[in-house]
Amino acid sequence: MTRRVSLTQYLIEQQRQHGHIPQELRLLIEVVARACKRIAISVNKGALGDVLGTAGSENVQGEVQKKLDIIANEVLIEANEWGGHLAAMASEEMEGIYLVPNRFPQGEYLLMFDPLDGSSNIDVNVSIGTIFSVLKKPEGAKGVSEEDFLQPGSQQAAAGYCVYGPQTTLVLTVGDGVTMFTLDREQGSFVLTTESVSIPEDTKEFAINMSNMRHWDEPMKRYIDECLAGKEGPRGKDFNMRWIASMVADVHRILTRGGVFMYPWDKREPNKAGKLRLMYEANPMAFLIEQAGGAATNTRQRIMDLTPTQLHERVSVVLGSKNEVERITAYHLDAKP
Ligand code: P6P
């Protein structure tokens, strides 16, 4: 029988052999993984656990909160606040940052998360997930403020997600490639199942919400029209389309078999750069995608080069197979400003 390597063993070996993961960061990742296991238990209960439906409140984004959004947020806060590895946290579900209470030791890391992304899929039993991003507190900063979080994605120390689907899978990068761990429910721990994840540079599969097509700007319409034209069109090949409406699930498919994911700006809300959030959705996913050999832009610039101006800032997202992302970005840069 193949002896599986646990997440703990993998992280300790990475720390010991490659020096890639300082002790505090290893502890942080293990605590986040434990919190994801707790969230998976609640998600998997569904109707049996009185966790479905809305919580009767709205989050800072003005979106209706699902019960599981709040449960997942609380699990992540409670799991991470006492360990001494964090200075503060930020979440899609909280307006401001969450300072580690004074009764606990303060650490050097900042943790951001979307506790349960894709929550519109919860009640219909479609895969959802937790997305997290880790930054270091700026050197010499006295205390912690929201400004300390406003660092470009290129400064991330780690990023990952846990997808709650047919399998519960933790996908992680600390800047040395992408690794996948599947939850072994019998032993109650994540075990290593895929190392050195690599995205094909080309693809025939795109992910976008086609119902918004009439609202996109011209370069995005051009790209999708060319995909739809198939073999007879300028691309000379047929394309397939997927849209799960759960970024974690769509990104997991792309990390597993390639593809390109797009959530572009559209004219329904012209003052919004896009729907997805930079700090705890686009940046962590961009880190993973680039570490797996893909690319991630906001249709004009590398996502991880963007300097955030606010915690819940939104951004257009194009990510996945490198050559498709480069083509889409080129169409936008070539178009009239
Ligand atoms: P739409 C989920 O609400 C989310 O933030 C992402 O996970 C997903 O990719 C997107 O929104 C889906 O948006 O407009 O297709 O429902």
Q: Domain for residue 243, yes or no?
A: yes
Q: Domain for residue 86, yes or no?
A: yes
Q: Domain for residue 68, yes or no?
A: yes
User: 106, 164 in Cβ contact below 8 A?
Assistant: no
User: Within 10 Å of residue 64's Cβ, how many Cβ atoms?
Assistant: 14
Q: For residue 315, what is the domain's CATH number?
A: 3.40.190.80
Please report the pLDDT score of residue 47 as a whole number. Answer: 86
In order, the DSSP letters of 291-332 are HTT-EEESSSSBGGG---SSTT-EE-EEEESHHHHHHHHHHH
Segment 122-143, tens digit of pLDDT? 889 999 999 999 999 999 878 8
Looking at the structure, do residues 224 and 181 belong to the same domain, yes or no? Answer: no
Task: Give the residue from 3, 4, 21 showing the smallest Cα distance to 12.
Answer: 21
Please report the pLDDT score of residue 51 as a whole number. Answer: 80
For the chain, the domain total comes to: 2
Q: Point out the domain boundary residue: 139, 172, 194.
A: 194
What does the alpha-carbon distance between residue 274 and residue 249 come to, in Å, rounded to a whole number? 19
- Please tell me the distance between residue 174's alpha carbon and the centre of ligand 1 in angstroms: 26
Task: Give the residue from 3, 60, 13, 39 showing the smallest Cα distance to 179.
Answer: 13
What does the alpha-carbon distance between residue 286 and residue 295 come to, in Å, rounded to a whole number? 7
Please report the pLDDT score of residue 134 as a whole number. Answer: 98
State pTM to two decimals.
0.96
- Please tell me the distance between residue 107's alpha carbon and the centre of ligand 1 in angstroms: 33
Please report the pLDDT score of residue 1 as a whole number. Answer: 61
Looking at the structure, do residues 170 and 234 belong to the same domain, yes or no? Answer: no
CA diameter of the chain:
66
Burial of 182 (0-12, 13-18, 19+ CB in 10 A): middle
Please report the pLDDT score of residue 119 as a whole number. Answer: 82
Q: Domain for residue 137, yes or no?
A: yes
Segment 315-324, tens digit of pLDDT? 999 999 999 9
What does the alpha-carbon distance between residue 175 and residue 329 come to, in Å, rounded to a whole number? 24
Looking at the structure, do residues 160 and 265 belong to the same domain, yes or no? Answer: no
Sign of CA dihedral 4, 6, 11, 12: negative
Nearest ligand 1 atom to alpha carbon 261: 9
Residue nearest to atom 3 of ligand 1 (CA): 118
Q: Work out the average pLDDT over 186-201.
A: 96
Looking at the structure, do residues 215 and 280 belong to the same domain, yes or no? Answer: yes
Segment 8-66, tens digit of pLDDT? 999 999 888 877 799 999 999 999 999 999 999 999 998 898 888 888 888 877 788 88
Looking at the structure, do residues 190 and 209 belong to the same domain, yes or no? Answer: no
Q: 159: Cβ–Cβ under 8 A, 6 or more apart, which residues? A: 132, 133, 134, 172, 173, 283, 284, 285, 287, 288
Looking at the structure, do residues 185 and 275 belong to the same domain, yes or no? Answer: no
Sign of CA dihedral 161, 162, 167, 173: positive
Name every protein residue with a CB atom under 6 angstroms from any ligand 1 atom: 117-118, 120, 209, 245-247, 263, 275-276
Q: Evaluate if residue 2 carries a pLDDT over 70.
A: no
Q: Domain for residue 123, yes or no?
A: yes
Please report the pLDDT score of residue 22 as a whole number. Answer: 92
Segment 69-116, tens digit of pLDDT? 999 999 999 999 999 999 999 999 999 999 999 999 999 999 999 999
Q: Which of 117, 161, 162, 163 to mutate to test the pocket of ligand 1 (most atoms within 8 A of CB)?
A: 117
Q: Point out the domain boundary residue: 171, 194, 217.
A: 194
Segment 291-300, tens digit of pLDDT? 999 999 999 9
Looking at the structure, do residues 20 and 126 belong to the same domain, yes or no? Answer: yes
Rounded to the nearest 5 degrees, what angle is found at the Cα of 322, between the Cα atoms of 319 and 325?
A: 50
Looking at the structure, do residues 142 and 240 belong to the same domain, yes or no? Answer: no
Q: Domain for residue 84, yes or no?
A: yes
Among residues of the chain, what percentage have pLDDT more than 90?
A: 87
Q: Domain for residue 2, yes or no?
A: no
Q: Point out the domain boundary residue: 139, 169, 194.
A: 194
Looking at the structure, do residues 173 and 76 belong to the same domain, yes or no? Answer: yes
Q: Domain for residue 1, yes or no?
A: no
Looking at the structure, do residues 25 and 102 belong to the same domain, yes or no? Answer: yes
Nearest ligand 1 atom to alpha carbon 212: 14
Looking at the structure, do residues 29 and 163 belong to the same domain, yes or no? Answer: yes
- Please tell me the distance between residue 120's alpha carbon and the centre of ligand 1 in angstroms: 8
Looking at the structure, do residues 183 and 323 belong to the same domain, yes or no? Answer: no
Show the domain range for 101: 7-194
Please report the pLDDT score of residue 285 as a whole number. Answer: 99
Q: 288: Cβ–Cβ under 8 A, 6 or more apart, which residues? A: 159, 160, 161, 171, 173, 178, 251, 255
